[in-house]
């Protein structure tokens, strides 16, 4: 559905899976919390204290809300900071050589009505040597992605106009409906931590495989990789920590462990109603309070971008809804 019929000679159909990365992340944190983990949000690491032989003895963190700093004693540290992996490592050793290159992948969102059907489309050859997907997602059509090396690593990466135009132009070559800039409802970007410190040239050619590196006496750095293999990466990291004598050996139960499921709200239904402008304000406020009290949300943006996906689906709706839930977090303060 949605593909240009002119010149079309054939195609290949295949099946794939979808998941919600942000909500799975929250579910995993809640799963860990239920088993005794202490999860801190908006509490970045700002430094380490080391012993005479170089081992890390304390981790310094800062509460971003109060500005207070705390020192936490530790036997070992897992560094799983994604694109900030090298920043963390250089807090231990300023001379540490880079392990990763950051790559920005951007996406645009258009109305699903411009596409038709529930079948995604995969364009295997683009000018930048990658692929382009057109995928029905949360009731909209997601088009992406790009691969641009990112030097300015930020928590809020944004798609450039050049990237947006590239995706539009590439998709126009295949879609029956000639989408234009005015059809873009929203855009968003993510940063990939690519492991290959010696790689040059395009980041599209850098491996997506992960690596687990023991270093600095008692730090285990986990970098690279993708969501697809998150559990195997974690098990690998634990095995390395055991081999290094940093933690006690014990069976790894996560392969068969049930993941926390939030039964209080159906987030996808809320998303769809919010996108259509049909969500009752009281339901939105109730969901925001639930996220504040049970899902680590600290700011209104946490709810709309990372507990719901409205921030990625529609810029207009996001601007309308943010002021409505802001009082929920002002009360918390």
The DSSP annotation for 109-136 comes to: EEEGGGT-SS--EEE---TTSS-EEEEE
Whether residue 77 contacts residue 282, with contact meaning beta carbons closer than 8 Å, is answered with no
Q: For residues 234 and 225, what is the distance between their CA atoms, to the nearest angstrom?
A: 11
Answer yes or no: do 132 and 205 share one domain: yes
How many domains does one find in the chain? Answer: 3
- For position 96, what pLDDT does the model report? 94
Q: For residues 128 and 108, what is the distance between their CA atoms, to the nearest angstrom?
A: 17
Q: What is the token pair recorded at 266?
A: 């159906």
Answer yes or no: do 112 and 44 share one domain: no
Answer yes or no: do 158 and 297 share one domain: no
Q: Which residues of the chain have pLDDT under 70?
A: 197-208, 331-333
User: Does residue 275 lie in a domain region?
Assistant: yes
Q: For residues 2 and 171, what is the distance between their CA atoms, to the nearest angstrom?
A: 11
Answer yes or no: do 127 and 173 share one domain: yes
Range of the domain at 59: 40-74
Domain boundary among 191, 221, 250: 250
Stated pTM of the model: 0.90
- Nearest CA to 271 out of 240, 229, 324, 317 is that of 317
Q: How many CB atoms lie within 10 A of CB 213?
A: 17
User: Domain with 214 in it: what CATH number?
Assistant: 3.30.9
Taking only the tens place, the pLDDT of each residue in 204-225 is 545 668 899 999 999 999 998 8
Answer yes or no: do 137 and 236 share one domain: yes
Whether residue 100 contacts residue 195, with contact meaning beta carbons closer than 8 Å, is answered with yes
Answer yes or no: do 163 and 238 share one domain: yes
User: Does residue 214 lie in a domain region?
Assistant: yes
Answer yes or no: do 303 and 174 share one domain: no
- For position 207, what pLDDT does the model report? 62
- For position 40, what pLDDT does the model report? 95
Helices (H), the chain: 21-34, 85-92, 161-172, 230-243, 267-276, 281-294, 300-301, 310-313, 315-332
Answer yes or no: do 131 and 232 share one domain: yes
């Amino acid at each position: 559905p949605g593909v240009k019929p002119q010149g079309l000679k054939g195609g290949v159909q295949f099946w794939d899976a979808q998941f919600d990365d942000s909500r799975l992340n929250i579910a995993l944190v809640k799963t860990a919390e239920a088993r005794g983990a202490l999860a801190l949000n908006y509490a970045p690491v700002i430094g380490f204290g080391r012993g005479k032989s170089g081992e890390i003895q304390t981790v310094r963190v800062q509460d971003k809300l109060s500005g207070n700093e705390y020192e936490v004693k530790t036997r070992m540290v897992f560094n799983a900071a994604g694109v900030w992996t090298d920043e963390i490592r250089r807090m231990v050793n300023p001379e540490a050589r880079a392990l990763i290159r950051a790559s920005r992948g951007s996406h645009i969102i258009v109305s699903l009505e411009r596409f038709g059907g529930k079948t995604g489309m995969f364009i295997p050859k683009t000018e930048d040597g990658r692929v382009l997907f057109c995928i029905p997602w949360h009731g909209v059509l997601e088009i992406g992605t790009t691969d641009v090396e990112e030097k300015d690593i930020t928590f809020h990466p944004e798609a450039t106009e050049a990237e947006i135009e590239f995706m539009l132009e590439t998709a126009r070559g295949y879609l029956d409906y000639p989408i234009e800039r005015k059809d873009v409802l929203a855009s968003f970007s993510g940063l990939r931590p690519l492991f290959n410190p010696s790689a040059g040239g395009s980041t599209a050619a850098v491996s997506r495989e992960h690596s687990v590196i023991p270093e600095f006496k008692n730090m285990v750095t986990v970098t690279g990789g993708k969501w697809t293999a998150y559990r195997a990466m974690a098990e690998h990291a634990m095995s390395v920590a055991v081999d290094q004598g940093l933690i006690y050996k014990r069976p790894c139960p996560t392969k068969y462990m049930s993941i926390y499921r939030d039964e209080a709200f159906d987030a996808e239904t809320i998303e769809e109603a919010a996108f259509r402008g049909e969500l009752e304000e009281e339901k939105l406020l109730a969901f925001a309070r639930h996220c504040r009290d049970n899902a680590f949300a600290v700011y209104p943006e946490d709810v709309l971008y990372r507990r719901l996906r409205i921030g990625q689906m529609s810029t207009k709706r996001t601007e309308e809804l943010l002021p409505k839930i802001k009082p929920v977090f002002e009360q918390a303060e």
